[in-house]
Structures are given as structure tokens and as C-alpha cells.
Chain A
Amino acid sequence: MGYSTLSTKHLLGIKYITADDINLIFQTAENFKDVINRPIKKVPSLRDVTIANLFFENSTRTRISFELAEKRLSADVVNFSAASSSVKKGETLLDTVNNILAMKVDMIVMRHPAAGSHHYLSKHIDASIINAGDGTHEHPTQALLDAFSMREQLGDLKGKKIVIVGDIMHSRVALSNIFCLIKLGAKVKVCGPPTLIPKYITSLGVEVEYSIKKALEWCDVANVLRIQLERMDIKYVPSLREYSMYYGVNKKLLDSLNKKIVIMHPGPINRGVELSSDVADSDQAIILDQVENGVAVRMAVLYLLAGNRAN
């Protein structure tokens, strides 16, 4: 029986963890995937742990996924959403969190619109913090579950070709994916309209491809992202229709390739914009596998971080 631990007390972003950490999370997630496919999907590991889910930004998948992961580990869970809280009355983030921690909470899962808010908190509180998305910065558990799902399809990701398509500029999923895939030795390209590709993205070790056809012909997996209209203060694309014509992934485009690639999407999908319905529902798309793996991967992260607290 091997002993193993993460190099970190918090999961603030993929940038701050090592390839060994990622592989340990994957190994543990495989065990938890086994657990959640049993008739009784629950283990008692975290029965003495209380976790607060703080969502200062909207979420469906991530929030339910975290909550299920916590419950399947037998943790006690409290939920918080900014819309119905005292944040509206002018309370600061640190005050809000300290008040919650005063009620003896052990771990914090947080989503916040401000990039870096988790770093700020981690300097001021003792509890373990898991980043469930901070602005346009990172969304580490999404990247972990994406890479875990890719690994299920392709085996070891070393040397595998992955293209991330769409709104790279506003996507925390893209950034976390890039960090994660590069740490695992994959080759990564980003593809999208020039206005939505950050200028210095190549400094992260990725290549830029502006033609969706060429990008798809090159890759083994295409991770297609949503156009985040809510984060765009100005027009980055002339219209959604035009975006869809140039960068939308549809059946015709996929059929024109000489191989079958894997299609992924972190959700929520804008059907008919970045992904056509016939692709989203085809057997090439592993979107629902991603969602299933999300629970297992989050269980692994929670389990490993909770274990670390004994230090």
C-alpha cells in the first residue's frame, strides 16, 4: 500500500501543482470512478469534514458536481450563493469567509468573478481552498477532468495532439487546460478568431492556428469552448452567426477529415454556435463522460487535500 500526498494544501490553479500531483489525482479518481458506479455510491472517508461551497458566480455543473463529490465522501456540506447573501449588503470577501470559517468549516470550494481571489484568501486563512473558477484566470478541476477524460480515450497523453477551439481570451478552462496538458507532455494548439486569442499565448508553449479545418486535421482531441458573451465588454466577433460559420464544429467539417477525432466541451453548450447538435449528440463527443468523470476527479481532489490537512 503506497503512501502519497499532494505537494500543496490548496488547489488554486494547475500552474501551482506538479505533474506528479496531477497523476496522483488521476490514480485516485480512477478508484472513485469505481465507487460511484457501485450500487451504493458512497464512502465514509470525509465524515468528519465540513465543506463550504461559495459561489459568487453562476454555475450548474460545477456546483452540483462538487456537491455530489462531497456528499459521496460523506462530508457535511453548506452552500452559499452571492445572490442571496450579505455580500449584497457590502461585506468584504475576507469577512464573509472568516465568518463562515468561525462556524468550524474545514474546506472552502469557491467560484469568484475576480481572478486571484483564491490566492488572496489563501494568504489569510488556514482552511484548504479549492478554486472552482476565478474570473478569466483558472478552473483547475475542469482541466483535470478534461485531461482525465482524454486519458481514458487515448491512454498516456505524452505526445498526443490537442486543440482548444474558441474563446481562448476569456476562458479559464482554456488556461487551466493548457497548463495541465503541457505538464502531462501533450502538444497543444489553440484555434479561434484572432481577436479572441491573447497576444502572448505562445509564451505558454502552445501554437496558434487560425484555420479550424487545419487544426482539426492535426489533432487527436478537440476541446471546444463556449463564446463567453457575458465577459465581453466590446464586440470581439461581428456576430454569433459569423463565428459559427468560421469556427463552429459541425458534422460536415468532421466528415471531411480523414480520421475520427474526439470532441469535448466543458459545457454549457451553445448548440448551433460553437458545436452543432448532431456533433454534440454523436458518439465522437464525450461530453457526458466528462461530466461523470468530473465527480470522480473532484472526489479525488477533496480526498487528497483533506488528507493533507493532518500536516
Chain B
Amino acid sequence: MKGGKTILAKERFKLTVERLCHELIEKYEDFSDTCIIGVQERGVLLADRVIERLKVLAPKTNIEYGKLDITFYRDDFRTRVEPLKASSTEIDFLIENKKVILIDDVLYTGRTIQASLAALQDFGRPAQVELLTLVDRRFNRHLPICSDYTGITVDALDEAYVKVEWENLDGQDRILLFSAKRNN
């Protein structure tokens, strides 16, 4: 996949994540009764980074952190050409009556988030759920879902594809915009 245009990188990328963390601290203060759930697989990368920064910015807090795999909850399971391979779900606490901050990297059609909300219910009834995403593709939504904390907003055509890359995995932190859809 070549020809991607960088729309956010390096310092601005860092600042954006930093700003999102500060927004969370502003709202949740000591993070009591709060947990962060990253959506597998690439949402977890953002959640990892947010957790890492929150430990520095708000060292006295102890936030519960889980990873949620939604493969078995997807509504497009049998319309895809091939089934998706699942990742692991690691939530070793109940979210009953907790405030949940759901984290994914890109909010696009909203279907992943819909499946995440369905999957979350299997771990209890949360007191509230908020959504944090690094990228919000606001004109491509299929469902009435929006993000509470947004890194950047991207207005792009349906055919376009947005990818968030991470330093520890892809070599550098950046967000790329591709004009044609990835073919898988």
C-alpha cells in the first residue's frame, strides 16, 4: 500500500494524544469506578498509549484496563468473503456500574463501536460509556454514533482509507490518508 498522505505526525501526533489524556483527567479526575477498554486490535494500541501517558500525567490514579475483541459480535460476519480471525479479550474485572471509556483508533461507519457496545454488555451493565477516538471520519457514519473525545476530524470520501501507525509497531507515530480503499 503506497501513496498515503501524512495528515498528522510526530509532535502534533504526540500533542493530540496528550490533549485527549488531559480531557479525560478533566472529566474523570481520580478515575474512581472508571475503566478503560481498548478495542482489539488497533484500538488497543491507542489505549496502551493513553494508559502510559495517564500514568505519567496522573500518577496517583489506578485505572482498570481491559482489551475487548469484537470479532464474534460483528454484524457483517457472514457477508464477508472470509471470516475474520479473532484476537483475545482480556477483561478480568466486571464493568457492572462502572464508567467505561471505550477507545478505538478510527471511528468510521460506527459498526465496530456498535459491536463493542453489544460485547460490553456480556461483562455487566456499565453506569455509562464514553468513546475516545484518535480519528473521526464524520461523514461516513452508518449508525447514530459519535465520539466524546476526538483527536482529529477527517473529512474524506468513502473510498478513502485512514491508517494510524505507531512508533513501537510501524516505526513512527503518524496518521495516513490513502485515496483508495485497502483491498482486504
User: For the complex, would chain A's binding face be called helix, strand, loop or mixed by DSSP majority?
Assistant: loop
Q: Find chain B residues with CB under 8 A from A34 CB.
A: 88-89
Once A31-B69, A45-B72, A303-B72 are accepted as A-B contacts, the answer to whether A38 and B82 lie under 8 Å apart by CB is no
The answer to whether A1 and B78 touch across the interface, beta carbons within 8 angstroms, is no
Q: Find chain A residues with CB under 8 A from B80 CB.
A: 307, 310
Task: Kindly state whether residue B41 has any CB partner on chain A within 8 Å.
Answer: yes
Task: Kindly state whether residue A43 has any CB partner on chain B within 8 Å.
Answer: yes
The answer to whether A42 and B122 touch across the interface, beta carbons within 8 angstroms, is yes
The answer to whether B78 and A310 touch across the interface, beta carbons within 8 angstroms, is yes
Interface size class of B (residues with CB under 8 A): 20 to 34
The answer to whether A44 and B118 touch across the interface, beta carbons within 8 angstroms, is yes
Once A28-B86, A34-B89 are accepted as A-B contacts, the answer to whether A311 and B69 lie under 8 Å apart by CB is no
- Measured CB to CB, the nearest residue on chain B to A48 is B78
The answer to whether B72 and A43 touch across the interface, beta carbons within 8 angstroms, is yes
Q: How far is the CA of A3 from the CA of B84 in the complex (A)?
A: 5
Task: Kindly state whether residue B4 has any CB partner on chain A within 8 Å.
Answer: no
The answer to whether B85 and A38 touch across the interface, beta carbons within 8 angstroms, is no
Task: Kindly state whether residue A60 has any CB partner on chain B within 8 Å.
Answer: no
The answer to whether A43 and B73 touch across the interface, beta carbons within 8 angstroms, is yes
B window 52-107: CB within 8 A of A: 69, 71-74, 77-89, 94
Q: Find chain A residues with CB under 8 A from B78 CB.
A: 48-49, 306-307, 309-310
Q: How far is the CA of A43 from the CA of B119 in the complex (A)?
A: 8
B window 107-131: CB within 8 A of A: 118-119, 121-124
A305 to B: closest C-beta gap in Å: 9
Task: Kindly state whether residue A101 has any CB partner on chain B within 8 Å.
Answer: no
Task: Kindly state whether residue B168 has any CB partner on chain A within 8 Å.
Answer: no
The answer to whether B72 and A3 touch across the interface, beta carbons within 8 angstroms, is no
The answer to whether A40 and B122 touch across the interface, beta carbons within 8 angstroms, is yes
Q: Find chain B residues with CB under 8 A from A90 CB.
A: none
Once A28-B86, A304-B83 are accepted as A-B contacts, the answer to whether A1 and B41 lie under 8 Å apart by CB is yes
Task: Kindly state whether residue A195 has any CB partner on chain B within 8 Å.
Answer: no
A201 to B: closest C-beta gap in Å: 36
Q: Find chain B residues with CB under 8 A from A309 CB.
A: 78
A30-46 vs B, CB cutoff 8 Å, 1 = contact: the mask equals 11001100111011110
Q: Find chain B residues with CB under 8 A from A73 CB.
A: 72
Q: Find chain A residues with CB under 8 A from B86 CB.
A: 27-28, 31
Give me 20 other A-B pairs in contact (C-beta within 8 A), A43-B73, A307-B80 excluded.
Answer: A1-B71, A1-B84, A3-B85, A27-B85, A28-B86, A31-B71, A31-B88, A31-B89, A34-B88, A39-B122, A43-B72, A44-B72, A44-B73, A45-B73, A307-B77, A307-B82, A307-B83, A308-B82, A309-B78, A311-B81
Could you list some 10 contacts between A and B, CB below 8 A? A1-B87, A28-B85, A30-B88, A31-B69, A31-B86, A39-B123, A40-B122, A40-B123, A43-B72, A303-B72
Of all A-B residue pairs in the complex, the 5 with the closest CB atoms, nearest first, are: A307-B83, A43-B72, A40-B122, A2-B85, A31-B86
- Residues of B with Cβ closer than 8 Å to A? 40-41, 69, 71-74, 77-89, 94, 118-119, 121-124, 184
